[in-house]
Amino acid sequence: MSEEQGVSTARVVPWPIDSRPSWGFSAVAGLQHVLTLFGATTLVPILYGQAMGMNVQQMGIFVATVYMVTGIGTLLQAYSKIGSGLPIIQGSSFSFIPAAMIIFESVKSGGGGVNEMMQALGGALVYGGIYELIVGYSGLAGLLKKIITPVVIGPTIMLIGFGLAGTAVSTASSFWPVSIIGVALVLTLSLIIKNKSINAFPVFITMVVLYLFALLGTVIGWFPQGHAMFVNMKAIADAPWIVFPTLFRYGTIGQTLHFNVLAFTAILAAYTSSMIESIGDYHSISYASGLSDPTAKMISRGIGSEGLGCMISGIMGGVGTTSYTENIGIVALTGIASRRVIRTGAVILIVLGFLWKFGTIISTIPSPIIGAAYLSLFGLIGALGLQVFTRADVTSTRNLLIFGVAFTFGLGLPGYMGAHTLVFANANWLAGLLNGILKNGMAVGGIIAGILDNVIPGTPKERGIVGK
């Protein structure tokens, strides 16, 4: 990667991208990434499964499959000849939820069940993945680098991080005492205790300690069933050990790859939003890793590999995947940017795709513990966006106004659209496309900032693109 991307003097990390920590260190650091992403990565298939009416067995297989495809997607992304080569985890995306719900409702209205809904979702992921793959590997995504400046990327990343504040608070609020203690532990382990080994795993150590506390409290009776800190040990005991991956699990090749116009058009918004977010994430992970800006080729390969990963997910019966913003916070917090660590985390995810029981154990970690991790990391991601924006001229009224308008719309419009969903009687696909974009704060802010920054005159130095 050295011929494509130099190391920035702005940030020095103890474990740079090409470093090779011991396998034991890599396993623990990789597991820390897994523990950080498992909450949302598990939540997305659970939301889908509930919407489709899946039973417990179907849900378990679905969750396991999602672990596996995210691991495969991460390996593709970390391999620089296929993906960006950046140390970024791939995970299930909330951007795809509105499109998935449109697809499920459409199939239900036609009398279809779980298999038919998963076929429609799988086909949409495959054909949408082809769209993303073409945008990526054709070089179109890389060309966006010329029009996506720090003035655009800054507020976009900030909206990604700060836009998740509600999720963090909602998750933590299930039992504030533990969540607050968790945040305090993360801060203590990462900033106050001066020990390199401890500083490397603040989130992992915190989650393990709090989970052991939850187990103890459940056994003793402090946390009865129904309490936010209750650990469902019966679910762990009853879960089978192994589940094997299957291609086209929910139907034949022809049934899954049947082209559904509504499903395809509905999911295009999700893919478009995902690409905008990923371009911002590539810049964010670069800064967090002590690297200079990702090149156009890296961005193109990254987007292309995400499309390929989504196609594989559709074929195997998973969900839409994309670069995982939450894990950028781990790299920024710990300074562990090693690709070996990311690849190790990807292998752990693939193994979890086979270990049904272990996946069940992870899914039983109480929400207050997850909330503690979210409260610790989401704000850091937003702050990285602010750091990116300062690469442009922050004294420029032009830049500040663009930032302010984009950020305001990005924060405010999605909530309004949630209560005022667009409906077009004869164009459901168009309504799905627009609703998918307008309900996504990151997409709204990024699009508005991109348009204004490229329409309103500004010097290269003012826009932060000198030398690009």
Please state the three-class secondary structure of 228-259 as a single string.
CCCCCHHHHHHCCCECCCCCCCCCCHHHHCCC
Average pLDDT of span 182-202:
86
Q: Among candidates 466, 458, 445, which has minimal Cα distance to 152?
A: 445
Nearest Cα neighbor of 269 from 441, 467, 401, 440 is 440
- Rounded CA separation 106/432 (Å): 12
Question: Each residue of 400-424: pLDDT tens digit?
Answer: 999 999 999 999 998 898 788 888 8
Residue 465: strand, helix, or coil: coil
Query: Given a cut of 50, is residue 5 above it in pLDDT?
Result: no
Digit-coded pLDDT (tens) for 118-168: 999 999 999 999 999 999 999 887 777 678 788 988 888 788 778 778 878
Q: What is the pLDDT of residue 184?
A: 95
Residue 270 has pLDDT above 90, yes or no: no
Q: Which two tokens stand for residue 209?
A: 């300690």
pLDDT band, residue 457 (cuts 50/70/90): very high
235 versus 299: which is more confidently predicted?
Answer: 299
Neighbours of 344 (CB within 10 A): 22
- Confidence band, pLDDT 50/70/90 cuts, at residue 93: confident
Q: Answer for the pair 444, 410: CB distance below 8 angstroms, yes or no.
A: yes
Predicted confidence band at 10 (pLDDT cuts at 50, 70, 90)?
low
Under the banding of pLDDT at 50, 70 and 90, the label for residue 347 is: very high
Residue pLDDT, tens place only, 238-263? 878 887 888 888 888 888 888 877 77
Can you say whether the dihedral through the CA atoms of 143, 148, 150, 156 is positive or negative? negative
What is the full DSSP assignment across 102-133?
Answer: HHHHHHHHTT--HHHHHHHHHHHHHHHHHHHH
What is the CB-side half-sphere exposure of residue 371 using CA atoms within 13 A? 21
Four-residue CA torsion sign, 60, 63, 65, 71: negative
- Kindly indicate the confidence band of residue 267, based on its pLDDT and cuts at 50, 70 and 90: confident
Compare 340 and 284 and report the one with higher pLDDT: 340
Alpha carbon 465 to its chain centroid, in Å, reads 27
Domain ranges of the chain: 23-388
Q: Is the pLDDT of residue 113 over 80?
A: yes
CA-CA-CA-CA torsion for 265, 271, 276, 277, nearest 10 degrees? 140
pLDDT beyond 90 at 9? no
User: C-alpha dihedral over 421, 424, 428, 429, to 10 degrees?
Assistant: -90
The CA distance from 315 to 119, in Å, is 9
Higher per-residue pLDDT: 313 or 165: 313
Structure-block tokens of residue 91: 């995970």
pLDDT of residue 352: 86
Residue 1 has pLDDT above 60, yes or no: no
What's the pLDDT score for residue 7?
41
Q: Distance between CA atoms of 38 and 28, rounded to whole angstroms? A: 15
